[in-house]
Amino acid sequence: MNRLDVFLHAERVGLLERLPGAELRFTYEPSWAARRGTPLSLSLPLRAEPFDDRECRPFFAGLLPEGDFLKAVARAFQVSAENSFSVLAEIGGECAGAVSLVAPGEEPAIMAGHPPRWLTEPELEELLVELPTRPLLTGPNEEDEGVRLSLAGTQDKLPVLARDTQLGVTWGSPPSTHIIKKPIANVAEMVANEAYCMALANEAELDVARALPLRAGDQEVLVVSRYDRTYRASERGPEIHRIHQEDFCQALGRLPAQKYEAEGGPGIAECAELVQRWSGAPAADQLKFLDALLFNLLIGNADAHAKNYSLLLDAPGSPRLAPLYDLLSTRVYGRRFGRKMAMKYGGEYRPEYIRGRHLDRMAGELGVAPRRVRVRAVGMAERVADSTEAARERLPGLSRDGAVIDGIVGIVEEMARSLYEAAEEPA
């Protein structure tokens, strides 16, 4: 198979082809382009002419998981992890946001409803244990081949439907509402780390996805609400609706391997220009982006690269900056994840060396007055430092008292002092 129909929601919007040499080509459906539907990506504006491999590969490769999870999926289908088309042909039936890729003539899974399979705690534990080596679940009728779902990122993930206190596996319709993330092996208290950082962002009044730790037997995981889902009223009651979205690498036409600025990925200036150019509320979203940068600095998140920021493309007022996600203190693990930030802050990668002049340069990259950045930095440092205990109280009892959270609190206090001093330096 060398052709895949590309859907947004339940509408066919284009065709993805594999050409000789495994190159990709994407062409919009003429009727979709003519009536100016939502673009598949900001890097793929509506037009009649096809997009060549250089133009379209970043978006489609960005739909796929990364690292060992991608390799596990590829092994399950006996295809190469480097062959994006072959992997998408197998698991592209439901991607992040509202994108689906299916064989020509087929319909996406979202158009065929199946009753969810509600999970007991032992069943959930079994799925989580098997997830690294069995990344695709059995289909709704047991004999089916399994879930055709692709989620970006490096961690093992399981999409689930949450209803009241139940978690279940769903096959397209209704769509999943939450993502269960397994921690990286041999990283201490990683679930508590991310749950705490997400709660801290919420306490500091940032727009952030909700996340809570969950234990199923011996498996401790993080359950994250999907920001690319919303509820709409219908005659049958509230219905789950998918929201089209893409990360900054996709929107800027960068491959996943280029997500770090040091590897050719977007820096603050390029990300800010993206927001300024496309956001439905650019001034508000620029400040939200600035707040996110300051928060990641305060918690010691050196992994806040361009794939960890996204845009909602068909929500009200779109495009808009998506809620924050994947917030984690990497610095608390010492040098295991490196100390350099994923993006330069005013020309400086090392958080401990960021001074007033770097904040002023960053203001220029953001298109914001330097004084406003300094005032915002002081306010964010104070809010985050004042929220550390309230964020801890949000977590279940067993997750509150680990050494990692104590370490994050220490990093926040240190970085808050440093950021305050930098903001008070003479301009």
Known catalytic residues?
303
Side-chain-side CA neighbours of 105 within 13 Å: the count stands at 1
Token output for 30 = 């003429």
Task: Determine the length of the chain.
Answer: 427
In degrees, to the nearest 5, what angle opens at C-alpha 247 toward C-alphas 243 and 253? 125
Closest CA to 110 of 121, 97, 128: 97
Residue 323's region, left for phi above 0, alpha for psi from -120 to 50, else beta, is beta
Q: What values do phi and psi take at 149, rounded to 5? A: -130, 135
Q: Residue 200: which of 33, 422, 415, 427 has the closest Cα?
A: 415
